[in-house]
Chain A
Amino acid sequence: MSASGIRLRPAPERRRILAGAFGALAAVASGPAALRALAGAQGRQAATRAGLAFGTTVSLTLAGARGADLEPAFRAGFAAIRAVEAAASLYRPDSALARLNRDGSLDDPDPLLVEQLRFALDLAAASGGAFDPTVQPFWTLWAEAAARGERPDERALIEAVARVGWREVEISAGAIRLARPGMGVTLNGLVQGYAADRVLAALAAHGIADAFVDTGEFGALGRHADGTPWRLGIGGPRRGGDLAAVIEPFTGFAATSGDDATVFSVDHRDHHIFDPATGTSPQALSAVTVTAPSGLLADALSTAAFVLGPERGAALVVRYPGCAVRFTAKV
């Protein structure tokens, strides 16, 4: 499970860190040998297909009757991921979102991009601007400073804050426009959750009733092949720590935003989630996990709640039916 927020460049270590920190239980993906044997006895099988997307690894685990051909479902699942990437991945220089950032405007935008961007702007309004899809200039600033071994200076931060503002994104019929030069949009705060939605929908359309997907955030349908429920482990705040909790049974969606993903300082003070008002990372929390009926909601709310902090974050999440939030204080 992963942190969402602002991420521009692939962070190859991310998976490893997360495996320790928030590691989903190994049982989730493949199941211990004994359970698999049990599943076999029941005439059921599970198969996992991994891949790369959104600058990290993703995986789909499908359960079905033994002998069933899962290949079409795998193909559909990955096709759904590729479609979301083509619309909104910042790891792809040719994605619709990357073109919007480059040109400042985009005609005939990909509907998948419009859907995510509308949702992001709605949540920006609902969260009083704590969630803001236009914080991309902060990333550029911090990443460049980090490459020099520095933090950005105050003036540069102030200059960047001036280029952030969700109200400056105009979505009209047939076009998206960024009103000010130097702006940049990121949907990394919700795109992986949205991908989980799209993948599970594609799988369901192929008759898959039991599936577990990891697109960086998590989603699950039904049960494991052996009939046991899917389980999702919530890690402690730092790698190597014990699991803080296990969600069992796990169905629906879960997303985590944490200070462990791309960090700019060893003490995890500076990382990839930014307060749109200051251009720095919020200091109250180490991680926020949100469970929700959609991946989009889970992912975006976890980012928003991370910025808002425990009290105001909880207040935001309770306004959305079927959502729950878990905070891990800053360590």
Chain B
Amino acid sequence: MRPSAKRALRPGSAKPSGRGDLRPLFAILWAFLLGLASASAGTLDRAGIERHFPAPLVVGERDDKIPVWPILKQEAGSYEVIAYAFESIDFARIPGFGGAAPNLLIALAPDGSFRDAKVLSHHEPVFLEGLGSEPLFAFVEQYVGLSAKRPIRVGRPGARANGAPPATTVDGISMATASTRVVNETMLAAALAVARAKLGFGAGPAGLRVEAKPAFEPLSVAELERRGWIRRFTVSQSQADQAFAGTGVEDADPGEEPFADLRIAYLNVPSIGRAILGEAAFARLMRELGPGDHAVLVVSDGRWSPIPDDFVLGSIPDRVTIQQGGLAVNARDAAWERRDLAPSLPAGPWTILKITEAAGFDPSAPWTLALKLTRERGQIFPEKISREISTDYALPPELFLRQSPDAGPDWTESWRARGWELGVIAAGLGLLVPVLVRQRGLVAQARPFSLFRLGFLAFTLGFVGWYAQAQLSIVTVVGLVRAAFHTGDLGFLLYDPPSLLLWAFVLVTLLVWGRGTFCGWLCPFGALQEFAAWAAKPLRIRQVAVPPPLDRALRQAKYLLLGLILGAAALGSPLADSLGEAEPFKTAITLYFLRSLPFVAYALGLILLNLFVYKGFCRYLCPLGASLAVLGRLRLLDWIPRRAECGSPCQLCKVRCRYGAIAPSGRIDYPECFQCMDCVTIIQDPKQCVPEVLARRRAHRAVPQTVAAE
């Protein structure tokens, strides 16, 4: 009977929107707009610095231009500078994984080496009570003795013992890859900034390393000249005379035209260097240059020569200067043997200028070659008069790889390295979505669906959680709030590709289905609880019935906790990190329970609680769940089908819902729904859904009744 029962289903009805539900979103947008980087400066005063550099070291008067303290040593009544001490936060504010920048106390010796490095403060979640701060302290200590003149990379744990160059590598820490990189960037960027100001090196863009891409295109010298990759620069006699206008030697140097005819080329770009030097010589030159060094060729035709007759190989030529950004770049003759040049270039005198990495030269940006022309005035004691003529040189930036050790390679590297994990997670999500969409498909088949669910949760716990370390966490939300209020930098998100993928997916599903997709399917700790409950089934533990008023009150607790955490984060209080420990994810998933006893006991306690109050943590306490529930109010679909009988008279789904997300009226409390699909399975199963069972029974009964009457 009641063949119309199916028509009573109301799937997919759009939820009326435009109520106060948008407020949380506005609050968050507003927080982002507020993203004012509050300029919190260094924390140490003279006494603070003196604590770190005690007698007999002497803390000198702070520099009047930049917050740097000279550290001196007294010897026989006079002083000697042994280091410059400073706080990284004053020079490089790089937000860490928790959204706030770590602050390091760094002492840089006059030779550019790290004399001291200590952590003053940090908000890296993995170290805060997780691994403990000791591994971070030990990590930072590795820098002592290394030179800030060379980029230092974070290797794998134990990299130095396994052959990584010890002068440019520090050992990483497993499970803290992103955090150690942030600390590394902070060290290098701050040290370079101070070195530029106090030690006179690192003049270029801080830490930026620009290298020619290895791509080779066979081009002729003529074609290179046409593109301007080999710059031809001609100075006529009259131009040279003009430069000397008003000096009395305007026409002291007549001769054939042209006065100077130069070819200028940046050799590191293979298409240029190989065309000029030939393949073998180009390879040799590149080997001879250190990593990050540059080579520039200047070859002349015409009367003027870039190098005088008595030029000493390997010295700094004074007739040609490379300038960039108004500053002279230190360039020295590379003492390269005088042959090997392409025959189509002029045969005049030439030099290959070598620019070392420390010069901070950026070949992808325009630079200038200045020629110094000198004439003499007078006969007996001739006065030398010099004038400069210069020409610009620029290559297309596409020829270069701009690597900032501060940011670029690190996050792209983690995306490359974790590409396959991303692929597996994406495949998992691609499997999940159609199953959840097609409610009359797998969902309707109780047993196969529960097997699918167990399988998927195993994937969530084992692969997403323990292997790929992609347990989403309130820590990220805290980071976002800190970024909005303090740092304005969301870069930290890029270091953890699997989590970012999941966040993107979860945000989309929030709009479609609500918080349940994450909480019920993609939260590794949630999966762990579900397995624990499943495994404990033979123990016949009975669920504790939480009285409804208490249940309602407890459900609000998670919002309170969320408010406290976000408030603390917005105020810049480290309390946010401590309160975030209410979340056992780090203990159970990130650190595999390898943590100090109180944390392990807490996490295990929650799992135990789950046996009596199913997913009690998720429903009552989880701040991440609370934040998703708040955002989930933007959900577009009321996607759980309902019948007219739901709630009145039928209470089956309400009773079977292990999350208490169905009101006695039959209404679904979506912010509490974990999308386990139990109620959908019931409603799709004519053998379970009470109205259908009754209808069938009535229809069934009708026929035999007449028979029985016989």
Select the residue from B60, B72, B315, B316 with max chain A CB neighbours within 10 A: B60
B78 contacts partner chain A, Cβ-Cβ < 8 Å? yes
B110 contacts partner chain A, Cβ-Cβ < 8 Å? yes
Contact flags A1-39 to B (C-beta < 8 A → 1, else 0): 000000000001001101110011111111000000000
Known contacts being A78-B61, A148-B312, A159-B383, is A24 close to B75, with CB within 8 Å?
A: no
Q: A148 to B381, alpha carbons, bound, how many Å?
A: 25
On whether the beta carbons of A16 and B80 are closer than 8 Å, the reply is: yes
A321 contacts partner chain B, Cβ-Cβ < 8 Å? no
Identify B81's interface contact among A12, A20, A30, A78, CB under 8 A: A12
Q: Which residue of A lies closest to B58 (CB)?
A: A50
CB of A38, distance to nearest CB on chain B (Å): 20
Known contacts being A158-B381, A162-B381, is A50 close to B72, with CB within 8 Å?
A: yes
Contact flags B381-402 to A (C-beta < 8 A → 1, else 0): 1011000000000000000000
Q: A48 to B78, alpha carbons, bound, how many Å?
A: 12
Determine the chain B residues whose CB is within 8 A of the CB of A246 once the complex forms.
none
A51 contacts partner chain B, Cβ-Cβ < 8 Å? yes
Determine the chain B residues whose CB is within 8 A of the CB of A19 once the complex forms.
75-78
Q: Which residues, 238 to 258 on A, are CB-close (under 8 Å) to B?
A: none
Identify A20's interface contact among B60, B61, B76, B312, CB under 8 A: B76
Identify A148's interface contact among B58, B60, B63, B315, CB under 8 A: B315
On whether the beta carbons of B60 and A51 are closer than 8 Å, the reply is: yes
How many residues from B make CB contacts under 8 Å with A?
A: 23
Known contacts being A51-B61, A52-B70, A78-B61, is A57 close to B79, with CB within 8 Å?
A: yes
On whether the beta carbons of B78 and A24 are closer than 8 Å, the reply is: yes
On whether the beta carbons of B72 and A57 are closer than 8 Å, the reply is: yes
On whether the beta carbons of B70 and A51 are closer than 8 Å, the reply is: yes
On whether the beta carbons of B75 and A16 are closer than 8 Å, the reply is: yes
CB of B399, distance to nearest CB on chain A (Å): 33
On whether the beta carbons of B381 and A26 are closer than 8 Å, the reply is: no
B74 contacts partner chain A, Cβ-Cβ < 8 Å? yes
CB of B678, distance to nearest CB on chain A (Å): 72
CB of A122, distance to nearest CB on chain B (Å): 29
Q: A59 to B383, alpha carbons, bound, how many Å?
A: 45
Q: Which residue of A lies closest to B111 (CB)?
A: A12
On whether the beta carbons of A162 and B78 are closer than 8 Å, the reply is: no
Identify A57's interface contact among B76, B78, B315, B381, CB under 8 A: B78
A326 contacts partner chain B, Cβ-Cβ < 8 Å? no
Determine the chain A residues whose CB is within 8 A of the CB of B63 once the complex forms.
52
Determine the chain B residues whose CB is within 8 A of the CB of A148 once the complex forms.
312, 315-316
Known contacts being A50-B79, A57-B78, is A159 close to B60, with CB within 8 Å?
A: no
Q: Which residues, 180 to 205 on B, are CB-close (under 8 Å) to A?
A: none
Q: Which residue of A lies closest to B59 (CB)?
A: A50
A173 contacts partner chain B, Cβ-Cβ < 8 Å? no
A151 contacts partner chain B, Cβ-Cβ < 8 Å? no
Determine the chain A residues whose CB is within 8 A of the CB of B79 once the complex forms.
15, 50, 57, 59
Determine the chain A residues whose CB is within 8 A of the CB of B75 once the complex forms.
16, 19
B64 contacts partner chain A, Cβ-Cβ < 8 Å? yes
On whether the beta carbons of B70 and A29 are closer than 8 Å, the reply is: no
Q: Which residues, 265 to 319 on B, are CB-close (under 8 Å) to A?
A: 312, 315-316, 318
Contact flags A69-83 to B (C-beta < 8 A → 1, else 0): 000001000100010
Known contacts being A12-B110, A57-B72, is A50 close to B80, with CB within 8 Å?
A: no
Q: Which residue of B lies closest to A48 (CB)?
A: B58
Q: A70 to B110, alpha carbons, bound, how many Å?
A: 30
Q: Which residues, 213 to 259 on A, are CB-close (under 8 Å) to B?
A: 214, 233
Determine the chain B residues whose CB is within 8 A of the CB of A78 once the complex forms.
61, 64
On whether the beta carbons of A49 and B76 are closer than 8 Å, the reply is: no
Q: A169 to B77, alpha carbons, bound, how many Å?
A: 39
On whether the beta carbons of B77 and A26 are closer than 8 Å, the reply is: yes
A68 contacts partner chain B, Cβ-Cβ < 8 Å? no
Known contacts being A147-B316, A158-B381, A159-B383, is A23 close to B77, with CB within 8 Å?
A: yes
CB of B246, distance to nearest CB on chain A (Å): 11
Identify B80's interface contact among A15, A24, A26, A162, CB under 8 A: A15
On whether the beta carbons of B77 and A25 are closer than 8 Å, the reply is: yes
Identify A82's interface contact among B58, B64, B74, B318, CB under 8 A: B64
CB of A18, distance to nearest CB on chain B (Å): 6
CB of B68, distance to nearest CB on chain A (Å): 9
Determine the chain B residues whose CB is within 8 A of the CB of A59 once the complex forms.
79
Q: Which residue of B lies closest to A214 (CB)?
A: B78
Q: A13 to B451, alpha carbons, bound, how many Å?
A: 77
On whether the beta carbons of A57 and B77 are closer than 8 Å, the reply is: no
CB of A67, distance to nearest CB on chain B (Å): 17
Known contacts being A12-B110, A23-B77, is A50 close to B381, with CB within 8 Å?
A: no
Q: A15 to B70, alpha carbons, bound, how many Å?
A: 15
CB of B319, distance to nearest CB on chain A (Å): 14
Q: A135 to B492, alpha carbons, bound, how many Å?
A: 55
Q: Which residue of B lies closest to A30 (CB)?
A: B74
On whether the beta carbons of A23 and B81 are closer than 8 Å, the reply is: no
Q: A159 to B382, alpha carbons, bound, how many Å?
A: 8
On whether the beta carbons of A162 and B81 are closer than 8 Å, the reply is: no
Determine the chain B residues whose CB is within 8 A of the CB of A12 once the complex forms.
80-81, 110
Identify B383's interface contact among A20, A25, A162, A233, CB under 8 A: A162
Q: Which residue of A lies closest to B384 (CB)?
A: A159
Determine the chain A residues whose CB is within 8 A of the CB of B80 once the complex forms.
12, 15-16, 57
Enumerate the 10 nearest inter-chain pairs by beta-carbon distance, A residue then B residue, closest first: A51-B61, A57-B79, A24-B77, A19-B78, A19-B76, A26-B77, A51-B60, A50-B60, A23-B76, A159-B384
B interface residues, Cβ below 8 angstroms from A: 58, 60-61, 63-64, 70, 72, 74-81, 110, 312, 315-316, 318, 381, 383-384
Q: List 6 A-B contacts (CB under 8 A).
A: A12-B80, A30-B74, A49-B61, A50-B72, A51-B60, A52-B60
Known contacts A57-B80, A162-B381, then 13 further A-B pairs from the complex at CB < 8 Å, ordered by chain A residue: A19-B76, A19-B77, A19-B78, A20-B76, A26-B77, A49-B61, A51-B60, A51-B61, A57-B60, A57-B79, A144-B318, A159-B383, A214-B78
